[in-house]
Amino acid sequence: MISDQQLSPAFKYSAWLWLALAGIWMLIVSFPDDTSALLVVLVASGIPIALFRHYTDEKDFITTLFIGALAARVTLGLVVYSFDLQVFFGGDALTYNAQGAMIADYWHGLVDPSNSFYQWSISTTRPGWGMNYVVGALYYVTGKNILAAQSLCAVIGASTAPMVYICAKKLFANRNVARFSALAIAFFPSFIIWSGQLLKDGVVIFLLVVAMTMVLQLQEKFNYAAIAALLGALGGIVTIRFYIFYMVAIAVAGSFVIGASEGSSSILRRSAVLVMLGLGLTYFGVIRTASTDFEKFGDLDRLQLSRMDLARSAESGFNEEADVSTTSGALATLPLGFAYLMLAPFPWQMTSVRQAITFPEVIIWWTCIPFLISGIIFSVKHRLRTAFPILFFSLTLTLAYSIFQGNVGTAYRQRTQIQVFLFMFIGVGWELWKEKKEDKKLEQRLKKRPPHDRLQFGAELVN
């Protein structure tokens, strides 16, 4: 077990210095016109730091982890902002900026409600509409500043790393696995890229981890705060990426059903949680909204057209001829889609600068696959009941994306929603590998001992 005292001072000081330098850079690029971005970072960071320090016994590590993750994301955001790279990395940022600004202007009384762009911006029948309201609420307070909006996303993205630590520790009761998982999420390039900008990916990933962590908490003990957090996370998910809501909801319900065999008190507790979640989601209109979205976007023919657009829209499209509007077509598409989702972009596909910069990360990811397989096997054998919601959600989202994704870039981007949980299993596999390696070393040392001395040596190791 690793204690806070073993945390490298160099790591702590570097994280704080990095964030301070990023703050100075932020002040330079926004001064004197608008310093709201720096204020957003300072104010918004205080809430997660206070919460994480309250709910963990590793306050020093969690705080430093958050600061380092935040520094990485703020720096990436500053590069994107300073060099106008929003289109290069993710053009959705400009859309959320424009629509959020329109909503803020209406709240300030500056826009006619019949304005067509305003009506388009507030529409709740379009995917990702929740981001428009988040940006609008921020701009209502701070004024229009895309750097402030992406800085808020950076704080949310940085908060994911400590949440992963808490989630992994609840799941596996192993501090080393929790640390490995949290550090990977904090500094793995794709997580920095997609959560350091004004994009919905980082927000969705954070909400997914919150939801799964609250499920693990509720499996242990009935808790009103955990129910409220779970409801908030599910409600947020349905406003940003509605189809994921169904997968999470089924995983949540399934986790309580599977655990219902522990005893009468457990059955009552889990049933109460499910009832309260159902009532809460119904009261806030989440189920109705999700059902409407599903009816509108869940048609297989429409999904087929969407997939074809992705496959044909850029050089990074693949398997253009696939037809996923039928069951046989979807199953035929699955193997190749799975390979692209989990392993792409491949080296021979890196024909542009944007694709080439992912090469080091892809190589690292490939080397993690054996540890991932080992960790999943261990979890199925020894932690299936507890890990069910995460395993089920990861599997269903993997299958869905494997079938309906037709673009390498989109697959690489959306893979992070699965990777955030897969890194927990990679951490388990890594720990198992280290233990086996250490056991072999001990066996070799034991063999070198004289026969009469082996028993004493073994006793010394145990002590």
Q: pLDDT higher for 95 or 462?
A: 95
pLDDT of residue 365: 96
Q: What confidence score (pLDDT) does residue 2 get?
A: 43
Q: What is the largest CA-CA distance in the chain?
A: 92
Helix, coil or strand: residue 275: helix
First to last CA, the chain: 16
d(CA 309, CA 406): 8
Q: Which pLDDT value is given to residue 4?
A: 44
Peptide bond into 451 cis (omega under 30): no
- In DSSP notation, 297-319 reads H--HHHHHHHHHHHHHSSTTB--
Q: What is the dihedral of CA 287, 214, 413, 124, to 10 degrees?
A: 20
pLDDT, tens digit, 9 for 90 and up, residues 32-87: 767 899 999 999 999 999 999 998 889 999 999 999 999 999 999 999 999 999 98
When pLDDT is cut at 50, 70 and 90, the band that residue 285 belongs to is low
**Per-residue pLDDT tens digits for 191-207:** 999 999 999 999 999 99
CB neighbours of residue 299 within 10 Å: 12
For residue 463, the model assigns a pLDDT of 53
Q: What is the per-residue pLDDT across 426-451, written as a single tens digit (0 to 9) for each? A: 999 999 999 998 888 777 776 766 66
Tell me the Cα Rg of the chain. 24
pLDDT of residue 85: 92
Residue 415 pLDDT: 94
List of residues 6+ apart from 113 with CB closer than 8 A: 106, 119
Average pLDDT, the chain: 84
pLDDT bracket for residue 260 (50, 70, 90): very low
Q: What is the pLDDT of residue 317?
A: 62
Placement of tokens 């400009």 in the chain:
94
* Predicted local confidence at residue 299, as pLDDT: 57
Question: Which pLDDT band, with edges at 50, 70 and 90, does 219 fall under?
Answer: confident
Q: What is the pLDDT of residues 300-319, one digit of tens each?
A: 566 666 656 665 665 566 66
- SS3 of residue 126 by DSSP: coil
453 C-beta neighbours (distance < 10 Å), count: 11
Two tokens at 189?
A: 């390039």
At 196 the three-state DSSP class reads coil
Domain boundaries, the chain: 1-219, 221-298, 299-463
> According to the 3-state scheme, what is the secondary structure of 358-411?
CHHHHHHHHHHHHHHHHHHHHHHHHCHHHHHHHHHHHHHHHHHHHHHCCEHHHH
Number of other residues whose CB lies within 10 A of the CB of residue 456: 9
Cβ neighbours of residue 442 closer than 8 Å, sequence gap 6 or more: 461
